């Protein structure tokens, strides 16, 4: 399995654009189909934005992204040292009526779920959050 890793020791909100560009570049390099690549870039953006904004409460913090290819499948691991939080438990927002305050607390996770095939979470042995985004058949032959 080929793994490409990027480590952002002091990631902040302004680094989200850099993280998007890194993810885009890796997707292009390993031959991920364009539409799927764009969606995965968004999923990674939402995951890292949640970590930086909610996990680290807009303070600099470490974010590690590992992108691994296994045949035609893609697995993206995001690790961080923010207080443990399992985003897979966030309920799907009700998007049926656009009135009042929209349910944005769950929108990022909703997008992650929509743009991937699997979303898995665990706390590592080191006590870090690890979120795994999986997309099957992402890579063109």
Partner 1 sequence: MEITISQDDGRVPVTVFHLQGDLADEEPLWSQAQQAYVDGTRYLLLDMRKVPSITSAGLRAIHEVYQLLRSDAPEESDEVVRKGIASGSYTSGHLKLLKPSKTAMKSLSVAGYDMFLDIYKKYAEAIASF
Which residues sit at the interface with partner 1, rule CB under 8 A? 16-17, 20, 35, 38-39, 41-42, 45-46, 49, 95-100, 102, 104, 107-108, 110-111, 114-115
User: Closest separation between CB of residue 80 and partner 1, Å?
Assistant: 18
Distance of CA 25 to the CA centre of its chain: 15
User: Closest separation between CB of residue 4 and partner 1, Å?
Assistant: 21
For partner 1, which is the closer residue by CB, 24 or 128? 24
CB under 8 Å to 109, separation ≥6 — which residues?
Answer: 46, 50, 87, 88, 90, 119
User: Closest separation between CB of residue 141 and partner 1, Å?
Assistant: 22
**83-89 long-range CB contacts below 8 Å, 24 or more apart?**
83/55, 84/123, 84/127, 84/129, 85/54, 85/55, 85/129, 86/121, 87/47, 87/50, 87/112, 87/119, 87/121, 87/131, 88/119, 88/120, 88/121, 88/131
For partner 1, which is the closer residue by CB, 5 or 105? 105
For partner 1, which is the closer residue by CB, 49 or 64? 49
User: Closest separation between CB of residue 1 and partner 1, Å?
Assistant: 27
For partner 1, which is the closer residue by CB, 15 or 128? 15
């Amino acid at each position: 399995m080929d793994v490409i890793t990027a480590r952002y020791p002091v990631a902040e909100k302004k680094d989200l654009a850099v993280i998007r560009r890194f993810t885009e570049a890796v997707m292009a390099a390993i031959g991920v189909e364009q539409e799927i690549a764009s969606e995965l870039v968004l999923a990674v953006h939402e995951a890292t934005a949640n970590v930086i904004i909610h996990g680290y409460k807009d303070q600099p913090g470490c974010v590690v992204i590992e992108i691994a290819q296994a045949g035609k499948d893609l697995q993206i691991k995001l690790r961080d040292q923010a207080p443990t939080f399992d985003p897979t438990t966030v309920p799907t927002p009700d998007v049926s009526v656009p009135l009042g305050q929209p349910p944005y607390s769950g929108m990022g996770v909703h997008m992650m779920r929509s743009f991937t095939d699997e979303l898995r979470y665990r706390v590592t042995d080191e006590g870090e959050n690890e979120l795994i985004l999986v997309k099957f058949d992402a890579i063109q032959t």
